[in-house]
Amino acid sequence: MFNLLSVLEVGESFEIENKDYVNFISSRVLIKDKIFKIKKETDKTRRVWRID
C-alpha cells in the first residue's frame, strides 16, 4: 500500500477493499506531504484520490 500511495499522481485514484482500509491509514501516516480523499464506493470498497 505504501508503494502504491507514494507513486500516485495528483488526480489519480484507485479502489481498495474495506478490509485493506487499516493498511491505507497506516501507510498514509508515513506519507505526510501528500493529501488523499477517501469515499465509500460500495458496501465492500472505497475509492482513494490524491488531491495534493
The answer on pLDDT for 12 being more than 90 is yes
How many beta carbons lie within 10 A of that of residue 33, not counting itself? 5
Give the pLDDT confidence score for residue 32 in this predicted structure: 86
| CA distances in angstroms from 34 to 9, 10, 52, listed in the order given | 10, 9, 6
pLDDT tens-place string over residues 33-48: 899 999 999 999 999 9
Q: pTM value? A: 0.81
